[in-house]
Chains A and B, each alone.
Chain A
Amino acid sequence: MTVDDERVSKARQGDREAFRRLVEGETRPLYAVAARITRDPGLAEDAVQEALLNAWRHLGDFDGRANFRTWLHRITVNAALEQLRKRSGREQFLADAGNADGAEDFLAAHADELPGPEQLAGGGEIGRQVQQQLERMTHLERSAFVLRHHEGQSLEEICGVLAINVSACKQAIFRAVRKLRGALEPLR
């Protein structure tokens, strides 16, 4: 039994200190993923808060098959999505509008003019453009992209979290990448 397993077991029996030790190292990574999805510090903090509460109250549902951290991340992602849903009931409207972007190819070949690592890391114009494009995404597009790109979840897992089918999930990620591609446009 690992230290985490022991803490999970104790926390299930109501040991608050064990739960706290189990989770406390994770709060900042959880905040980072919530902030990526919500793009709002206040909503991200609310999402983590809700995730901690839900994790504590639903610890009995954790069956130990998944890693505890993975389980906690999943709860946080759901809490972040819930924050977005609370904030805007017009997501579907926005998502539908996004479908009008078209499915044509968007990766025009200008490889020789691509930014180098130092430009990418240096922030500045590219960073601003990326931020702007992330803001432009619908909640669905951004959530699907964050889960696939940053969280490394499979399309199937993302479908489960976002309650959409595989085709819709793929399209959301494609639209997100298409918008991000626009961030490099001014450099051409």
Chain B
Amino acid sequence: MNSIRDDDLVLYHYRDGLTAGELAAIGQALRESAPLRARYAVLCATLQAVDAQPAATADAGLEQRLWQRWEEQTGSDGVPDRRHADTLRGAGRVRHRAGARPLLRHAATALAVVAALGVGFLIGRQPAGPQAPTPKPDVAAVGKSELSSRVLDAYVAAHLRETEGVVLTAVNSDSAALLAGNRELAAGLIDSNRLYAQAAARAGNARLANFLQQLEPLLIELANPAGTASVQSSDGLRDYVDKTDLLFQLRATQARIEPQRPTTI
């Protein structure tokens, strides 16, 4: 091999992706060349630094939670077989198709929000107070209310996931092209954020409504940064995200409202 690139050294390190001849040539070059050995030492130190990181450990309750949920999920299962696989793969395909059609998804979102707002509005217009007799719970009305609440939760959870992605990209990315795309995504989230906040307020979920209202200035800032993606502005955003625990709040709110999803393989 005439010139040994760093990428070749990576493959050499893992003894993978190179022919026996190439491996031998790099081994020979390493024995003969001090500069190459120095480069290889840097690679090894880099990978050792990764190895030195402690593996993630879960809390003591992990097993209990896993098996409890496993029992719940498989309680009605008989002998394991392939029928489940087809069902699961089918569910995965449905979701995949939904993901591949953003226009359809947006239309569905808009319809769901309008429906949730409508139900919330109608509920808000119902007379309340001591004069309204409530001898029996109206099962149908409760069902509609729960349904609209679940629809709203599902769309807000998806909205929060997108917001989290936008924040992560804004904080972590240095790519101008990526940040430009990210600004567009943030701009697209502002209106839906406002709608969801209103719908949550109408549905009586003040906590969620407040949280969404707090997100709006951030989304506006992400959509219209003061200057180009300068180091200062990204540092400022990073500080803000760290200090306010924003990512944690986003994930916690998602986890709180997200409906149970079916599993896929």
A66 proximal to B (CB < 8 A): no
A53-B70, A93-B178, A114-B42 known; A135 and B172 CB under 8 Å?
yes
Whole-angstrom distance from the CB of A148 to the nearest CB of chain B? 6
- Residues of B with C-beta under 8 A to A14: 77-80
Give the residues from 149 to 170 in chain A that come closer than 8 angstroms, CB to CB, to chain B.
149, 154-155, 166, 170
A148 to B263, CA, bound (A): 27
A97-B178, A131-B53, A170-B11 known; A155 and B17 CB under 8 Å?
yes
User: What's the count of A-B pairs with C-beta under 8 Å?
Assistant: 185
B39 proximal to A (CB < 8 A): yes
- Residues of B with C-beta under 8 A to A59: 80
Give the residues from 91 to 135 in chain A that come closer than 8 angstroms, CB to CB, to chain B.
93-94, 97, 100, 103, 105-111, 114-115, 117, 120-121, 123, 126-127, 130-131, 134-135
- Residues of B with C-beta under 8 A to A69: none
A94 to B99, CA, bound (A): 17
Tell whether, in the assembled complex, residue A31 and residue B56 are in contact, meaning their CB atoms are under 8 Å apart: yes
Tell whether, in the assembled complex, residue B35 and residue A32 are in contact, meaning their CB atoms are under 8 Å apart: no
Supply 9 A–B pairs (Cβ within 8 Å), ascending by A: A45-B66, A53-B74, A82-B265, A108-B39, A120-B49, A120-B51, A130-B53, A166-B17, A170-B17
Tell whether, in the assembled complex, residue A44 and residue B39 are in contact, meaning their CB atoms are under 8 Å apart: no
Tell whether, in the assembled complex, residue B172 and residue A12 are in contact, meaning their CB atoms are under 8 Å apart: no
A65 proximal to B (CB < 8 A): no
Tell whether, in the assembled complex, residue A90 and residue B6 are in contact, meaning their CB atoms are under 8 Å apart: no
- Residues of A with C-beta under 8 A to B58: 28, 31, 35, 41, 44-45
B228 proximal to A (CB < 8 A): no
Q: Which of B37, B99, B251, B265 has the most chain A CB within a 10 Å cutoff?
A: B265
- Which residue on A lies nearest to B74, using beta carbons? A56
- Residues of A with C-beta under 8 A to B165: 87-88, 90
- Residues of A with C-beta under 8 A to B35: 109
Known: A27-B63, A50-B264. 7 other contacts (CB 8 A): A24-B67, A32-B56, A41-B56, A173-B10, A177-B10, A180-B46, A183-B49
- Which residue on A lies nearest to B173, using beta carbons? A97
In this complex, the interface size class of chain A, counting residues with CB under 8 Å from chain B, is 35 or more
B57 proximal to A (CB < 8 A): yes
In this complex, the interface size class of chain B, counting residues with CB under 8 Å from chain A, is 35 or more
- Which residue on B lies nearest to A75, using beta carbons? B265
Tell whether, in the assembled complex, residue A114 and residue B80 are in contact, meaning their CB atoms are under 8 Å apart: no
Whole-angstrom distance from the CB of B178 to the nearest CB of chain A? 4
Binding site secondary structure of chain B = helix
- Which residue on A lies nearest to B65, using beta carbons? A45
B47 proximal to A (CB < 8 A): yes
- Flag B225-257 by CB within 8 Å of A: 1 or 0 each: 000000000000000000000000001000100
A57-B84, A97-B178 known; A42 and B255 CB under 8 Å?
yes
Tell whether, in the assembled complex, residue A184 and residue B46 are in contact, meaning their CB atoms are under 8 Å apart: yes
Binding site secondary structure of chain A = helix
A94 to B169, CA, bound (A): 9
Give the residues from 36 to 58 in chain A that come closer than 8 angstroms, CB to CB, to chain B.
36, 40-42, 44-45, 48-50, 52-54, 56-58
- Residues of B with C-beta under 8 A to A110: 38, 42
A105-B6, A154-B16 known; A184 and B49 CB under 8 Å?
yes
- Which residue on A lies nearest to B75, using beta carbons? A16
- Residues of B with C-beta under 8 A to A177: 10, 43, 46-47
A4 to B56, CA, bound (A): 27
B5 proximal to A (CB < 8 A): yes
Tell whether, in the assembled complex, residue A27 and residue B16 are in contact, meaning their CB atoms are under 8 Å apart: no
- Which residue on B lies nearest to A145, using beta carbons? B50
